[in-house]
């Protein structure tokens, strides 16, 4: 529906704290080194993207994704180094651009900024921003970021940072602009915003059936047409857990993936996810949990339904052990992805 | 003539409720914050057939109005516009935005009672607040269907309650009357019902289980032993 280009596959992490095979929890520092090792492995196995998200909570080690990505950059050759997301509302667009342009230099042009409002709000009080300005902050800063992307001297004034007058930002990238996307959770206004500024869209689908998003994809395409902007292939971010067998994956997912949802949900007043809800998410919702064959089938179905161009699986949620995380990355790269490609090419021949 | 439903708030929840209402055959009128032009495209693509209007126009043209804006903004509503209307409150306290030191989370008063006190000439019924928006979208079933899920509602006005029960059923869920408006506290964040996507029988149990939950005990203490 969007493009015949090759499907892109990626891995996403917030820097969850893993355990050793014996169940001992890593330190946050060791968790960061683990993500670097996983990024290196992903690159060796030919994965296309690793995206690291910004959080400021005890269960996640990554608050500065671009610093971790810089660590991965110098040890890898091909993998795209993305954030997922950079909470632009509570950051300074100029500094974000500078940091990712630096990452782009270190990685020979592989940096990608994924901007979002973030579903977490810790960064607001942390950096002295007022949540009442949630909409204004993102709107103004995205508009400024779109200007910075031209890498020409920028003049700008607004309410959320100091004005710029014919100011150039350094370092400049070799390709003339930073790859940039906007990630959204389904707020219609956010989709329109991505289209308006001509940014590719990432949909975070963390629950429910993927079919629900079919109208949103049409929505993005229509919005892009309205603003005379290109409609890029859509990326989808969802949780995944791949193990050798369905049973093992289900058991690990129930223990770790569900636990991470329950912990976050508790802060928000949600009842813990029930067994039935978890089973639904695994069977027909947005948790890609199972053996390589099961996950490949479900991913192929989602890709067909939504016509997306890029799939990113969030891995290692909860306190999944480091060896299980590495094993999942291997299964994903060596078995799931080739199988998905095969299923899709068979489907298109019919 | 089609029945009309007004929705104030064009975010995730407002959009999903609009989609369900369209599917159920309602005429849908929806307003976001500010200029209707801002949501014109949203409505055109995601709610084909619905009308994108100002909040004032929605209030003027619909007798039943669903509040799907952030709870913290309820005082931006105009009580005069909503006077004599049936108002369905689907809003929730969200501590990350509203903070922890707020009346919105007071154990003595449910947030829907605050909304009712503010909209003093409207009839407020609380409904559609406890199920996540993606479950709302995915879980509609016709009346009597196996596996149908339930939505709890509370309020004080018998006629208004009856109309909301009809609406819940029309949208695809079993309605469950959980008491007067002050019982709305049983449906709020932190209660066993919050986030529930369950059958009528299961929902009844969860509403009753409130008193044994940590939040329920806090509410009981604050209200002198009675909810």
pLDDT at B171: 98
Contact B138 A208 (CB under 8 A): yes
What CATH number does residue A21 fall under? 3.20.20.30
- The pTM score is 0.89
> What is the least distance, in Å, from the CA of B46 to any CA of chain A?
6
pLDDT at A349: 56
Per CB-CB distance under 8 Å, the chain A contacts of B191 are 269
User: Hey, is B64 helix, strand or coil?
Assistant: strand
Euclidean distance between CA atoms B95 and B110, whole angstroms: 15
Domain of residue A212: give its range.
8-349
Contact B45 A185 (CB under 8 A): no
* Average pLDDT, rounded, for chain B: 94
* Beta-bridge mates of residue A311: A9, A236
pLDDT at A1: 43
Euclidean distance between CA atoms B109 and B129, whole angstroms: 16
Is A2 a member of any domain? no
Contact A134 B97 (CB under 8 A): yes
Q: Is residue B7 over pLDDT 80?
A: yes
For A35-51, write each residue's pLDDT tens digit: 999 999 999 999 999 99
pLDDT at B212: 94
Query: What DSSP string runs through B205-227?
Result: HHHHGGGGSHHHHHHHHHTTT--
Euclidean distance between CA atoms A57 and B190, whole angstroms: 20
Is A60 a member of any domain? yes
> What is the least distance, in Å, from the CA of B188 to any CA of chain A?
8
Which of left, alpha, beta for A27 (phi over 0: left; psi -120 to 50: alpha)?
A: beta
Q: Is residue A190 over pLDDT 50?
A: yes
Chain position carrying tokens 């209200």: B223
Nearest by CB to residue A207, choosing from B134, B196, B206, is: B134
Euclidean distance between CA atoms A94 and A104, whole angstroms: 15
For B27-56, write each residue's pLDDT tens digit: 999 999 989 998 998 999 899 999 999 999
Among candidate residues A115, A92, A105, the one with its CA nearest the CA of residue A200: A115
Is A3 a member of any domain? no
- Taking a C-beta distance cutoff of 8 angstroms, is the pair A209, A286 a contact? yes
- Classify domain B4-223 by CATH architecture: 3-Layer(aba) Sandwich (3.40)
Is A262 a member of any domain? yes
Euclidean distance between CA atoms A30 and A12, whole angstroms: 18
Core vs surface per residue A76-111: b (16+ CB within 10 A) or e: beebbbbbbbbbbbbbbbbebbbbbbbbbbbbeebb
Euclidean distance between CA atoms A214 and A305, whole angstroms: 7
C-alpha distances in angstroms, B48 versus A341, B15, B27, B40, B54? Answer: 35, 11, 11, 10, 17
Which of left, alpha, beta for B154 (phi over 0: left; psi -120 to 50: alpha)?
A: beta
> What is the least distance, in Å, from the CA of B172 to any CA of chain A?
16
For A270-298, write each residue's pLDDT tens digit: 888 889 889 999 999 999 999 999 999 99
Is A199 a member of any domain? yes
Is A269 a member of any domain? yes
The pLDDT confidence band at residue A326, using thresholds 50, 70 and 90, is very high
Report the complex ipTM. 0.79
What is the number of domains present in chain A? 1
């Amino acid at each position: 529906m969007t493009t015949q280009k090759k499907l892109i596959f990626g891995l996403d992490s917030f820097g969850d704290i893993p355990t050793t095979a014996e169940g001992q929890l890593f330190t946050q520092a060791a968790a960061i080194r683990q993500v670097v090792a996983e990024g290196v492995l992903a690159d060796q196995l030919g994965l296309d993207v690793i995206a690291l998200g910004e959080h400021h909570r005890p269960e996640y080690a990554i608050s500065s994704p671009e610093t971790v990505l810089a660590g991965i950059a110098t040890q890898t050759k091909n993998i795209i180094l993305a954030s997922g997301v950079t909470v632009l509302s509570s950051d300074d667009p100029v500094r974000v651009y500078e940091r990712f342009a630096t990452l782009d230099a270190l990685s020979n042009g592989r940096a990608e900024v994924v901007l979002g409002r973030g579903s977490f709000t810790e960064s607001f009080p942390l950096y002295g921003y007022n949540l009442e300005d949630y909409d204004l902050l993102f709107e103004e800063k995205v508009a400024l970021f779109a200007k910075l992307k031209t890498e020409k001297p920028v003049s700008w004034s607004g309410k959320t940072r100091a004005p710029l007058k014919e100011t150039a930002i350094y370092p400049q990238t070799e390709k003339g602009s930073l790859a940039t996307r906007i990630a959204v959770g389904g707020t219609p206004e956010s989709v329109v915003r991505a289209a308006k500024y001509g940014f590719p869209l990432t949909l975070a689908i963390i629950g429910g059936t993927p079919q629900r998003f079919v109208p949103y994809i049409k929505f993005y395409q229509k919005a892009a047409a309205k603003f005379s902007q290109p409609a890029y292939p859509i990326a989808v971010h969802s949780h995944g857990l791949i193990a050798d067998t369905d049973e093992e994956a289900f058991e690990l997912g129930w223990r770790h993936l569900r636990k991470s949802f329950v912990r976050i949900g508790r802060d928000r007043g949600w009842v813990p996810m029930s067994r039935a809800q978890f089973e639904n998410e695994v069977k027909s919702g947005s948790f890609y949990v199972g053996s390589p064959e099961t996950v490949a089938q479900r991913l192929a179905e989602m890709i067909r339904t939504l016509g997306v161009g890029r799939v990113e699986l969030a891995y290692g949620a909860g306190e999944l052990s480091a060896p299980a995380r590495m094993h999942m990355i291997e299964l994903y790269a060596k078995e799931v992805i080739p199988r998905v490609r095969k299923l899709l090419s068979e489907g298109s021949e019919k | 003539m089609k029945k009309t439903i007004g929705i104030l708030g064009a975010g995730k929840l407002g959009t999903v409720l609009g989609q369900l209402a369209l599917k159920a055959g309602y005429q849908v009128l929806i307003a976001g914050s500010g200029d209707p032009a801002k949501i014109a495209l949203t409505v055109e693509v995601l709610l084909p057939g619905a009308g994108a209007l100002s909040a004032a126009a929605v209030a003027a043209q619909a007798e039943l109005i669903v509040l799907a804006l952030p709870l913290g903004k309820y005082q931006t509503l105009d009580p005069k516009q909503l006077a004599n209307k049936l108002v369905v409150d689907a809003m929730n306290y969200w501590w990350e935005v509203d903070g922890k030191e707020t009346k919105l989370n007071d154990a003595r008063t449910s947030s829907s009672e605050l909304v009712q006190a503010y909209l003093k000439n409207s009839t407020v019924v609380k409904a559609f607040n406890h199920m996540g928006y993606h479950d709302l979208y995915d879980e509609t079933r016709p009346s009597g269907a196996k596996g149908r899920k339930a939505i709890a509602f509370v309020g004080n006005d018998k006629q208004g309650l009856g109309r909301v029960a009809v609406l819940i059923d029309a949208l695809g869920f079993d309605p469950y009357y959980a008491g007067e408006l002050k019982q709305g506290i049983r449906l709020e964040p932190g209660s066993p019902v919050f986030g529930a996507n369950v059958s009528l029988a299961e929902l009844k149990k969860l509403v009753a289980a409130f008193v044994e939950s940590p939040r329920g005990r806090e509410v009981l203490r604050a209200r002198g032993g009675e909810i």
